[in-house]
Amino acid sequence: MTNYKSGFVTLLGRPNVGKSTLINKLIGEKITITSPVAQTTRNKLKGILTTKFGQIIFVDTPGVHKPHHLLGEILVKNAKSAINGVDMVVLVLDSSVEPGRGDEYIKDFLVANKTEFIVALNKWDLVNKEFKSLRLDQYRKVFGNSKNFQIVSASEGDGCSELIDIILNFLPIGPMLYEEETICDQPLDNLLADLVREQVLINTREEVPHSVAVNIEKIKEIKRDKGKNFTAILATIIVERTSQKGILIGKKGSMLKTIGQSARSNMKKLINGPVHLELFVKVVPNWRKKESKLMELGYEVDY
């Protein structure tokens, strides 16, 4: 008789608490987009972790794209769709700040829905030594003293293997649902596009906001008789306004170069081989309003 565990797990939490960073760390490959700008997660991503003891399928949640006064309502709406069909939830909290209403909303919602959840208190590395015990008390007051409360630092990796053990403990007994070597069910071009979009957000911050999309036009394996083979990737960054195109290209192309270099370096890690990346910027006015364009770019319009 086998005790193998498997199941679907979703990470819930306010924007920017580190959900994507945590999934990446738990799985050990860069598969989701992370940036210091809130609301970077667009599509639901699954990252798959297979261990000797079980298989955890992580479902990422979309970020919040609505004005602040709606935040509570939207968090709950997102939470509702995210918990659909999952076995358990990891509630991710940002310990570098005090517990907030948004965190409580989600907890109350989970309790009301009788959803199994554990707490991952993230960004512990950012809490000053002398404040650590106070901060822990503040969070325990709101989120309870249960043993299913794990302190982690997603960027450092601290507490992650303990978190995996807690999750596996919670999951039901079940078979391996994906082949052992699968880490993500997203097509490669989505992952590559996200790596470019991530660098646009990191490097331009508020100047080029969320009205940016990336389309992977071509991925080609180039075989060379002499020297190494490489993957050639052609990508277009789509913006809504000419002014945004200017910002993205930068002085003498400097911004586009920076974006391209960083995106390429992450692509190399993802593909596990040399990459040649060519980037173009294209203005498509109001692309967000054009649903066919959205679908062509692979977005799930689910809100």
Does position 17 interact with ligand GTP (CB under 6 A)? The reply is yes
Q: Is position 119 annotated in a ligand binding site?
A: no
Report whether 44 belongs to an annotated binding site.
Answer: no
Binding of ligand GTP at residue 95 (CB under 6 A)?
no
Part in contact with ligand GTP (CB under 6 A); list of ranges 16-24, 72-80, 166-174, 288-296: 16-24
Contact between 190 and ligand GTP by CB under 6 A: the answer reads no
| Residue 242, helix vs strand vs coil | helix
The gap between the terminal CA atoms of the chain, to the nearest Å, is 44
Helix 101-112 × helix 132-143 angle, to 10°: 40
* 215: number of Cβ within 10 Å: 19
Q: Mask 132-171, x = binds ligand GTP (CB under 6 A)?
A: ---------------------xxx----------------
Q: Kindly tell me which residue out of 28, 65, 111, 126 binds ligand GTP, with binding defined by CB under 6 A.
A: 126
User: What's the CA angle centered on 164, arms 106 and 92, to 5 degrees?
Assistant: 20
Whether 108 contacts 141, CB under 8 Å: no
| CB closest to ligand GTP, residue no | 18
* 39: contact with ligand GTP by CB under 6 A: yes
Which tokens hold the place of 235? 């990508």
Which position among 7, 63, 99, 260 is part of the footprint of ligand GTP (CB under 6 A)? Answer: 63
Identify whether the C-beta of residue 27 lies closer than 8 Å to the C-beta of residue 58.
yes
Cβ closer to ligand GTP: 38 or 142?
38
228 is in an annotated binding site: no
19 binds ligand GTP (CB under 6 A): yes
Residues 6+ apart with CB under 8 A from 289: none
Of 267, 198, 262, nearest to 230 by C-alpha is 267
Name the site residues for ligand GTP (rule: CB under 6 A): 13, 15-21, 34-36, 38-41, 63, 122-123, 125-126, 153-155
